[in-house]
């Protein structure tokens, strides 16, 4: 059986840069926008990029995307548990 190589998806040109915010950065972000963590857009803990950066449920990710029109855009996402819906 051939040995399976692991690929680092964060190096792919279509995957934006993901970093985990520190608690201090997270609190600063929430204060700046006067919001609670649950008000941030969500990303599942099972997302490949979330796994690649080692984020845990409750972490906030800063995602920097390159845009041909805007240059760079920054998004924030709260990591949540991926709960499968009942059938």
Task: Please give the pLDDT value at position 28.
Answer: 97
Q: What is the CATH number of the domain that holds 69?
A: 3.90.940.20
Q: Which domain holds residue 51?
A: 13-80
Task: Please give the pLDDT value at position 14.
Answer: 79
Indicate whether 69 belongs to any domain: yes
Buried-exposed string 37-59: b where 16+ CB fall within 10 A, e elsewhere: eeebeebebebebbeeeebeeeb
Indicate whether 22 belongs to any domain: yes
Task: Please give the pLDDT value at position 56.
Answer: 96
Task: Please give the pLDDT value at position 29.
Answer: 97
Count the domains in the chain.
1
Q: Dump pLDDT digits (tens) for 40-87.
A: 999 999 999 999 999 999 999 999 998 888 899 999 999 999 876 655
Indicate whether 43 belongs to any domain: yes
Separation between Cα atoms, residue 61 and residue 55, nearest integer Å:
8
Indicate whether 5 belongs to any domain: no
Sorting pLDDT into bands at 50, 70 and 90, what band is 37? very high
Which pTM does this prediction carry? Answer: 0.83
Q: What is the distance of C-alpha 21 from the center of its chain?
A: 10
């Amino acid at each position: 059986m051939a040995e399976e190589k692991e690929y680092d998806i964060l190096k792919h040109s279509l995957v934006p840069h993901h970093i985990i915010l520190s608690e201090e950065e997270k609190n600063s972000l929430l204060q700046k926008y006067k919001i609670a963590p649950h008000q941030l857009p969500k990303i599942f803990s099972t997302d490949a990029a979330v796994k690649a950066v080692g984020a845990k449920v409750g972490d906030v990710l800063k995602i920097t995307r390159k845009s041909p029109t805007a240059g760079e855009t920054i998004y924030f996402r709260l990591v949540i548990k991926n709960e499968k819906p009942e059938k």
